[in-house]
Structure 1
């Protein structure tokens, strides 16, 4: 087709006869109930704002400079308070930097083009978000999951999926061999796979307990034994252990889940201790993730005990923190929401106070009441 003007003839390319239709399902806000403004207010938001204002060393010293700009005398009470507060905030900040340096050491260099990332349980939830994020950045990303993903969808996301039961050592070893052959030696392992049975101890079958521990705990041992040797040979790596704050607390009707997550806390610290004794593991970093309740399918039917003090964590918030530590080449801990970071103080309280806090928070009633099961005592009536 040629369009003529007074001085030139421009060839217009032919348009394809059929245009590919892409179906997009946008979130419908009208399906969500309207909430008052204070419903979205939480202690996490307040703490976040304070962290960048009142509790920030730089801002504290800016206040001191502002006072001096107004010719406030050094001996004035407001100047003394401002200087003392600035010194305190600076000391806390310096102490935190030194503490992390002692605990986690220097960061390693991370180049995503040279890293091979393995994520267990990476089809949905937090793992799915991490996989898709790295897939969009053209990283070498492999996902181990029992769920099957359509090849076209996998290619579109830029993720290589391996249908695999991470609780089966032979399946993991077979998948690892394919990963090494197709992508290279794994250097970043994100152990994220997990399941939950929301039942009381009496209602949970032995098969369900075994399944929970195999997926939530045993799989970590299997993947570590499979992928850690590759990291040692490469003399670099990052291992992410996704546990839960409930591993510290326990909760009614979640006994198998909380016990399996508590085991991961001990496993993480044992892993760090063992890596510290291996010369080749100097550049292998470890990250412990202990989130509170997340807005995923696993706990979609569970109401948070208190939306102000215990808001629901989003996979995006957790994923952002995990990715930041991985790409900085740092070890560390990710605990969201805020109370997850200070759960250690709860365990230091007197047992009576702990019990009152549990009752007040609604921790043990969030998953429903324990269903009583009457067992045959064998007595004659």
Structure 2
């Protein structure tokens, strides 16, 4: 049942839904059925002959009026879906229709926290391939394959310490220049029941996953506001919406990351009047990284399909390349989970029960 969050079947259903609700498909079909009914009837009869007998009979027996009504409904739903998507994008970019201007990747500087491994490493590699110079903030050294790249600079930094972040930020500005891209990717997780979570670990996870967002943003946002140009990316989680059993601390920090992103976007637009400073928040589903080593096996046995770090890195950098801000749920087939707080309580509880079965040790 935990596969309700992400499974191959859900991906297939979501893909089929996108196809059926595409006005580029249903629109021409509606016009054809309305103005060329005889031609459509002949095509349907020809197709029916190549289908299993019962399906062919069913297809041939659908009244034309019913087919046209169904197509009208699908066209209307598809148009609503398309307009809604466009409005989402525009609203996330200070109601701007086009992409932000002034970006030249070979001149841009990015800071990526937690860039020495996992998702962060993938983001660094893709930004470098784009021509961006990247400063990595991490307590882990760069992997050997990244150490010889002139476009990557490593700065030892404990993101839970404002002093450490300030020192690293000063070094970046001194050695590289002012960053125009900040990817707040650093995160930790360790599945543990509430009653067994120590104060030391609580302070650590909130420091890495939440407080660091303030420390890095306070260092780099002022220059972005001054130039009215920049992009701050916050890597949150599907746990921003779904509280996970044995991971109350992680869920709370990711809900906090979402709140941070939303407040930041609003402040940039209304308090600082810098509409071209972009903000994005990323909500990956379960990702196969060292963070999940303790319970990835349980999740997979429960039917959850784990994403790869490369998949997330691809989508994060694609978002940066788009020169637009926004909110991404990965995979997109899980986007509906973001509405869970508006679901009836019983339906929310069924989802949390299903997820808990994959997270709690038997």
User: One fold, TM greater than 0.5?
Assistant: yes
Partner of 1:253: 246
Which of 306, 312, 319 is the matching residue for 1:318? 312
Contact 1:73 1:79 in 2 (8 A): no
Please, which runs of 5 or more residues in structure 1 have no aligned partner?
1-38, 371-381
Partner of 1:356: 350
Please, which runs of 5 or more residues in structure 2 have no aligned partner?
1-5, 42-62
Contact 1:251 1:364 in 2 (8 A): yes
Q: Which has the larger radius of gyration?
A: 1
> Displacement, 1:48?
2.5
Matched residues, number: 329
> Displacement, 1:339?
5.9
Counting helix residues as a fraction of each chain, which structure ranks higher? 2
**Is 1:155 matched up with 2:148?**
yes
SS at match of 1:190: strand
Matches within 5 A, 1:173-184: 173-184=166-177
Which of 185, 198, 205 is the matching residue for 1:192? 185
Which of 198, 203, 209 is the matching residue for 1:216? 209
- Deviation string 1:299-318 (CA, Å, 9 cap, x unpaired) is 13424657898532222332
Partner of 2:48: none
Partner of 2:229: 236
> Displacement, 1:73?
8.7
**Which structure is higher in RCO with an 8 Å CA cutoff and minimum separation 6?**
2
Partner of 1:368: 360
Which of 8, 16, 22 is the matching residue for 1:56? 22
**Is 1:294 matched up with 2:263?**
no
Structure 1 range deviating more: 334-343 or 279-288: 334-343
Q: Give, in whole Å, the separation in 2 of the partners of 1:273 and 1:202.
A: 36
Contact 1:43 1:309 in 2 (8 A): no
Q: Give, in whole Å, the separation in 2 of the partners of 1:114 and 1:241.
A: 22
SS at match of 2:182: strand
How has the CA–CA distance of structure 1 residues 65 and 307 changed in structure 2, closer, same or farther, with 3 Å as cutoff?
Answer: farther
Contact 1:244 1:291 in 2 (8 A): yes
How has the CA–CA distance of structure 1 residues 89 and 81 changed in structure 2, closer, same or farther, with 3 Å as cutoff?
Answer: same
Q: Normalising by structure 2, what TM-score? A: 0.81
Q: Give, in whole Å, the separation in 2 of the partners of 1:313 and 1:252.
A: 20
Q: Give, in whole Å, the separation in 2 of the partners of 1:244 and 1:41.
A: 20
Matches within 5 A, 1:1-381: 41-51=8-18, 53-64=19-30, 66-67=32-33, 68=35, 71=38, 76-77=64-65, 78-104=67-93, 105-106=95-96, 107-109=99-101, 110-149=103-142, 153-156=146-149, 158-300=151-293, 301-303=295-297, 305=299, 310-338=304-332, 340-359=334-353, 361=354, 363-369=355-361
> Displacement, 1:47?
1.1
> Displacement, 1:210?
0.6
How has the CA–CA distance of structure 1 residues 65 and 309 changed in structure 2, closer, same or farther, with 3 Å as cutoff?
Answer: farther
> Displacement, 1:169?
1.4
How has the CA–CA distance of structure 1 residues 123 and 79 changed in structure 2, closer, same or farther, with 3 Å as cutoff?
Answer: same
> Displacement, 1:252?
1.9
Q: Give, in whole Å, the separation in 1 of the partners of 2:190 and 2:164.
A: 24
Partner of 2:55: none
Contact 1:60 1:86 in 2 (8 A): yes
Give me the CA root mean square deviation. 2.8
Q: Give, in whole Å, the separation in 1 of the partners of 2:345 and 2:123.
A: 39
How has the CA–CA distance of structure 1 residues 352 and 279 changed in structure 2, closer, same or farther, with 3 Å as cutoff?
Answer: closer
> Displacement, 1:351?
2.6
SS at match of 1:264: helix
- Deviation string 1:324-343 (CA, Å, 9 cap, x unpaired) is 22112111111113464222
How has the CA–CA distance of structure 1 residues 92 and 229 changed in structure 2, closer, same or farther, with 3 Å as cutoff?
Answer: same
Q: Give, in whole Å, the separation in 2 of the partners of 1:102 and 1:263.
A: 21
